[in-house]
Amino acid sequence: MDSRRPPLAPACPTLPEYVRHWAETTPDRRAFTFVEHPAPHSRGIHRTLTWHRLDVRVRALAARLADEAGPGDRVALLCPQGTEYVTAFLATLTAGLVAVPLYTPGLPGHADRLAGVLADALPSVVVTTSRARDEVRDFLGTGGPRIVVADEVPDDDGRDRQPVILDPGAPAYLQYTSGSTRAPAGVEISHGNVVANARQALAAYGLDTRPMTSVGWLPLYHDMGLVLSVAAPVARGALSVLMDPAAFLHEPVRWLRLLAAHPNAVSAAPNFAYDYCVATVTADQKEGLRLDKVTALINGSEPVRPGTADRFHTAFAGQGLAPGTHCPSYGLAEATVFVCAARPGEPLSRFALDRDALAAGKALPARPDDPRAVLLAGCGTPAGQRVRVADPVTRVPLPEGEVGEIWVQGPNVGRGYWNRDSQEVFGAEFTDATPGSGRWLRTGDLGTVLEGQLVVTGRLKDLIIVDGRNHYPQDVEATVQEAHEVVRRDRLAAFAVPGGAGGECAVVVAEHARTARLAELDVPAVVRAVRGGVSARHGLRLADVVLVPPGTVPRTSSGKVSRALTRARYLEGAFGGQVRAAGGAE
């Protein structure tokens, strides 16, 4: 029997104990379904594991891993998206080993990062699948870690093994940061951290007592994908429906069809994915699509733009999508993932802020129609943890309406960075802290509190500081992509580089739209429009504008543009052969 509403879950201390509980109490319920799209325009082939079948596969693979590695050893997951990835992750935890969620070597543009993470984590074992075995073996070369092929391990391997007693405080996995602002670092997430954050997420979106189905295309090596598509459904005993990120990118309506097919669906995507659906889903594809049963659509990548939610809901209102489904959220790998979330069913909280005041650290209201206003969405309230905003220099807590660094404290905050000194980030204290107030996580993100809600304004390390004035790069990028239709949305980076007299100057590297032919573009006209728009709205003079072909601007493993890597490549001269702003600086 597979009823819609799962029974309430007990308070298990680890994910493997939840798996065993659901396998014993609801063995025939569906646990995970992977929808494979083997051909263009395919509606998908569904491959499902029940809780009983998941438990059998997890036990078998855990037994094999325990034979190959010792307690505390790292196990790198180099599997394609699918049920084998879920099994490999849960089996590693079940064996008392430390998972390192990664991806296959064939992921375009990320081979160097994969090599760097493997060199840092030093896994004893790599888990992959028969489909990816050859490319993994070729990538690792001789003398590397042992390879276990998950789908070739017999069920019998785990039959007579007793479960390992797990310490909730011990590391469960290393979540490597996406590298959008610096080199990737492995955050040690304990068994207790991930269970706490799964429960926090469920409570934040009202899913701890109501029916839910997680529908996701985010990669499982990404923190949001792992928690929303694996940890939270395991803690809730709910169905998780997965698809490959590439399948979404090739035909985004596939994601919407899965949302429509599963009542009480909850899903997450970054800003660009919602805009991508608006731009690419056709009127014919909307025919027969019903989205009235979607519970929550989470947006938690960079400061959330209200315009993105508005465009998405306008585009799909005819399919019954309720306006209260869009849930701006905030999180980061160092806190497992979830920190704050807006609740489903509530109107989007909108804040129009004065751009100059915001740059000076004050969140002052402005008219929404003022061209110099910055429009941001509120990210709700903390989900079972404490959040404060502090002056990043003096470490003094700031009152509502002042912009500072976001600090977080709670049972979901990770243990620290693997093999690195983490005191500065994970052990922060306020200068006026009373004894026993505990240590805090310094997120490196900037924000403020308005009307009781957290409003994220940007990233501390990304700030562009020119002539003593602060400029948020995502704000500049939004202006650039509106300045001329040839600039490709969400495929550009604004950043600062060394300038004259020891100061900094601003640069933009932007991809042109796929529909444009570079040889036929009036590049000087594009550059003039970009410079004029940024100057008028921000009072900022761009020292260089570089227009590059689609696919040139580097992205992180989670799909976001990497400003840090774009900046590094710019300084190396990697874009020197591209079309630039009439020789660079004026």
Predicted confidence band of residue 77 (pLDDT cuts 50, 70, 90): very high
3-state helix/strand/coil string of 10-48: CCCCCHHHHHHHHHHHCCCCEEEEEEECCCCCCCCEEEE
Secondary structure class of 331 (helix, strand, coil): strand
Give tens-digit pLDDT for 489-542.
889 999 999 886 667 899 999 999 988 877 788 889 999 999 999 999 898 999
Contact 360, 463 (CB under 8 A): no
Which range (280-294, 331-345, 562-576) has the least confidence?
Answer: 562-576
Contact 78, 104 (CB under 8 A): yes
For residue 561, pLDDT over 90 is answered with: no
Which range (310-324, 379-393, 400-414, 432-446) has the least confidence?
Answer: 432-446
Contact 377, 351 (CB under 8 A): yes
Residue 453 is inside which H or E element, if any? Answer: strand 453-459
Q: Looking at residues 110-116, what average pLDDT do you find?
A: 88
pLDDT in the model for residue 501: 63
Query: How far apart are alpha carbons 137 and 126 in whole angstroms?
Result: 10
Q: Looking at residues 458-486, what average pLDDT do you find?
A: 89
Query: How far apart are alpha carbons 363 and 303 in whole angstroms?
Result: 14
Contact 165, 13 (CB under 8 A): no
Q: What domains can you pick out in the chain, each with its CATH number?
A: 33-38+46-166 (3.40.50.980), 376-461 (2.30.38.10), 463-580 (3.30.300.30)
Contact 105, 139 (CB under 8 A): yes
Q: Which of 47-61, 150-164, 483-497, 514-528 is modeled with the greatest confidence?
A: 47-61
For residue 579, pLDDT over 60 is answered with: no
Query: How far apart are alpha carbons 20 and 58 in whole angstroms?
Result: 10
Angle formed at CA 202 by CA 201 and CA 208, multiple of 5 degrees: 160
Longest dimension (CA), the chain: 73
The overall average pLDDT reported for the chain is 90
pLDDT in the model for residue 59: 96
For residue 127, pLDDT over 70 is answered with: yes
For residue 190, pLDDT over 70 is answered with: yes
Residue 537 is inside which H or E element, if any? Answer: helix 523-538
Predicted confidence band of residue 585 (pLDDT cuts 50, 70, 90): very low
CA atoms in the 13 A half-sphere facing the CB of 303: 28
Secondary structure class of 404 (helix, strand, coil): strand
Predicted confidence band of residue 341 (pLDDT cuts 50, 70, 90): very high
CA atoms in the 13 A half-sphere facing the CB of 379: 26
Predicted confidence band of residue 9 (pLDDT cuts 50, 70, 90): low
Tell me how crowded residue 218 is: count the other CB atoms within 10 A of its CB.
27
pLDDT in the model for residue 5: 59
3-state helix/strand/coil string of 338-403: EEEECCCCCCCCEEEEEHHHHHCCECCECCCCCCCEEEEECCCEECCCEEEEECCCCCCECCCCEC
pLDDT in the model for residue 6: 65
For residue 586, pLDDT over 70 is answered with: no
Number of H helices, E strands in the chain: 18, 28
Percent of the chain with pLDDT over 90: 72
Give the sign of the dihedral formed by CA 76, CA 81, CA 84, CA 86.
positive
Counting every residue written for the chain, the total comes to 586
Contact 484, 527 (CB under 8 A): no
Tell me how crowded residue 222 is: count the other CB atoms within 10 A of its CB.
27
- According to DSSP, the β-strands at 453-459 and 441-450 are antiparallel
Q: In a 10 Å sphere around its CB, with 0-12 CB exposed, 13-18 middle and 19+ buried, how is residue 392 labelled?
A: middle
Structure pTM? 0.89
In order of 235, 473, 480, the CA distances from 538 in angstroms are 46, 11, 11
For residue 359, pLDDT over 90 is answered with: no
Q: Which of 150-164, 297-311, 337-351 is modeled with the greatest confidence?
A: 337-351
The encoded tokens of residue 127 equal: 């888990």
For residue 43, pLDDT over 90 is answered with: no
pLDDT in the model for residue 215: 98
Contact 417, 184 (CB under 8 A): no
Query: How far apart are alpha carbons 568 and 557 in whole angstroms?
Result: 17
Predicted confidence band of residue 436 (pLDDT cuts 50, 70, 90): low
Angle formed at CA 207 by CA 202 and CA 210, multiple of 5 degrees: 155
Predicted confidence band of residue 575 (pLDDT cuts 50, 70, 90): confident
Which range (146-150, 397-401, 468-472, 474-478) has the least confidence?
Answer: 468-472
Q: Looking at residues 429-436, what average pLDDT do you find?
A: 76
pLDDT in the model for residue 157: 79
The encoded tokens of residue 483 equal: 């300045």
Query: How far apart are alpha carbons 115 and 186 in whole angstroms?
Result: 14
Q: Looking at residues 346-362, what average pLDDT do you find?
A: 92
For residue 123, pLDDT over 90 is answered with: yes
For residue 209, pLDDT over 70 is answered with: yes
Predicted confidence band of residue 161 (pLDDT cuts 50, 70, 90): confident
Give tens-digit pLDDT for 387-417.
999 999 999 999 999 999 999 999 999 999 9
